[in-house]
Amino acid sequence: MPKRPTLADIARAAGVSTATVDRVINKRRPVKKTTEEAVLNASRRLNFGAAPSPTNRMAESLPERRLGFILQKALKPFYIRLSEAIRAAAESQRDVSCRAEILFVEELAPEPIVEKMKDLSRRVDSLAIVAVDHPLVSDEIWRLKQRGVPVWALLSDLSSPDKAGYIGIDGRKAGRTAAWAFDKHCSPGGTIGTLIGSQRYVGHEDRDTGLRAFFREKQRNFNVLEATSYLDSDDGAYKGTMELVARSPGLAGLHVIGGGCEGAIRALADKELIGKVALVCHELNSETRRGLIDGSTIMVLATPVERVAAAAVRLLAASEHGEEHAERFGPVLPFEILISENI
């Protein structure tokens, strides 16, 4: 009868110590992924008992994290792409077993966001939310912190001092970059219109502030109109653009802060202003990509969706019971600057 292999035999075959083999086989202490796989592969080659597969063994040994995400508007391509990227990032985690649960809110009002926060927080260890900055949201963040559920601001920052941190781009820099594009593309003295998704989105407010700060600092002779809210929708952007064009026949540039840029492109086409009004958007999709090609859009300042998702999953997975984390304030990620020549 063949001799049953020993731990020392497996150690020699895997190129590790007997103590390491003991840790893996008997689940005494975690080891590096590559070391664990080497030991398990060697144990199978030597027919050492019923060694579990590396995948199953790793899944058994990894700590579990339940991650919650509250996003906006389930049917918007941007949020569909973000939700898919979040799920992919959760599945790809190697040091922790992640389960991501994603809920969507169709309104910008704070009340439905807070209701989703209360619901989801009962089932997750940490939470990331795309939300308007409102006292009701801040109060719920405080309540969840007391319960040990850290809440991260996602895409748009929140003023709550109790949030775990912010994950997204620097809105002020994005706004200044949009202003730079208008400055290079439009004749001095032109009128720049702005459509803002919501005045209570800190990220939108930052972009608007950055644009205006650029023109003040550089002392450019542009007429920047007061921002018009359009509730971050295609139809809202269409109506807002039509109203801006009617009020300002000599409109030189249009800054659409948020989603729904398709509506602005449609309105400019209806008014036969494609190529006459410089359009800058903040969301890359099939319509804005075509806009860069046909000249209806001069620049898209896009959020790096996959990088945001990866950072969010990593930080939420590391957030445990409200403890301070080394990256508490989260990464401010660089946005993508897209023009017709680099898409």
Asked if the model's pLDDT at residue 321 lies above 70, the reply is no
How far apart (Å, rounded) are the C-alpha atoms in residues 90 and 310?
8
Question: Which is higher by pLDDT, 213 or 60?
Answer: 213
**pLDDT band, very low/low/confident/very high, at 326 (cuts 50, 70, 90):** very low
Average pLDDT, the chain: 89
Q: What is the pLDDT of residues 273-300, one digit of tens each?
A: 999 999 999 999 999 999 999 999 999 9
pLDDT one-digit tens code per residue, 159-196: 999 999 999 999 999 999 999 999 999 998 899 999 99
pLDDT band at residue 30, thresholds of 50, 70 and 90? low
Instruction: List for the chain the helix, strand, coil content (%; round to 5).
Output: 45, 20, 35
Instruction: Write the pLDDT tens digit of every residue in 302-311.
Output: 999 999 999 9
CA angle 154, 159, 160 (to 5 degrees): 90
Strand positions, DSSP E, the chain: 64-72, 97-105, 126-129, 151-154, 165-169, 191-196, 223-224, 228-229, 251-257, 278-281, 299-302, 332-333, 336-338
Least confident stretch, 51-60, 129-138, 167-176, 196-205: 51-60
Q: How many residues in the chain?
A: 343
For the segment 84-88, the average pLDDT, to the nearest whole number, is 96
Q: How confident is the model at residue 63, as a pLDDT?
A: 81
Mean pLDDT along residues 242-249:
94
Tell me the sheet residues that pair with 245.
none
The pLDDT value given to residue 1: 47
Percent of the chain scoring above 90 in pLDDT: 70
Q: What crossing angle do the helices spanning 7-14 and 18-25 adopt, rounded to 10°?
A: 110
- At 3, the pLDDT band (50, 70, 90 cuts) reads low
Does residue 54 contact residue 85 with C-beta atoms inside 8 Å?
no
Q: Computed over its alpha carbons, how large is the radius of gyration of the chain?
A: 26
Q: What is the pLDDT of residue 102?
A: 97
**What is the DSSP code string of 204-248?**
HHHHHHHHHHHHHHHT---EEPPPEE-TTSHHHHHHHHHHHHHH-
**What single DSSP character describes residue 337?**
E
Strand 336-338 to strand 299-302: parallel, antiparallel, or no bridges (unpaired)? Answer: antiparallel
Non-local CB neighbours of 274 within 8 Å, separated by 6+ positions: 265, 268, 294, 295, 296
Confidence of residue 325 (pLDDT cuts 50, 70, 90): very low
pLDDT greater at residue 136 or residue 63? 136
In the predicted structure, residue 5 carries a pLDDT above the cut 90: no
Q: How far apart are CA 7 and CA 48, in angstroms?
A: 9
Higher pLDDT, 85 or 43: 85
Cα dihedral 262, 166, 210, 138 sign: positive
In the structure, what pLDDT confidence band is assigned to residue 323 with cuts at 50, 70 and 90? very low
CB atoms within 10 A of CB 91: 12
What is the distance between the alpha carbons of residues 51 and 197, in angstroms, rounded to a whole number? 56
Average pLDDT of the segment spanning 82-100: 92
Could you give the percent of the chain with pLDDT greater than 70?
A: 90
**pLDDT over 70 (residue 234):** yes
How many other CB atoms are there within 10 angstroms of residue 312's CB atom? 27
Average pLDDT for 237-250:
95
Instruction: End-to-end CA distance of the chain: give it in Å, rounded.
Output: 66
CB-side neighbour CA atoms (13 Å) of 258: 33
Rounded to an integer, the average pLDDT of 301-325 is: 82
- CA 30 centroid distance within chain: 31
List CB contacts of 254: < 8 A, sequence separation 6 or more: 192, 193, 194, 195, 241, 244, 264, 268, 277, 278, 279, 280
Give the list of residues 6+ apart from residue 304 with CB closer than 8 angstroms, or none: 169, 333, 334, 335, 336
CA distance 199 to 228: 9
| pLDDT tier for residue 61 given thresholds of 50, 70 and 90 | low
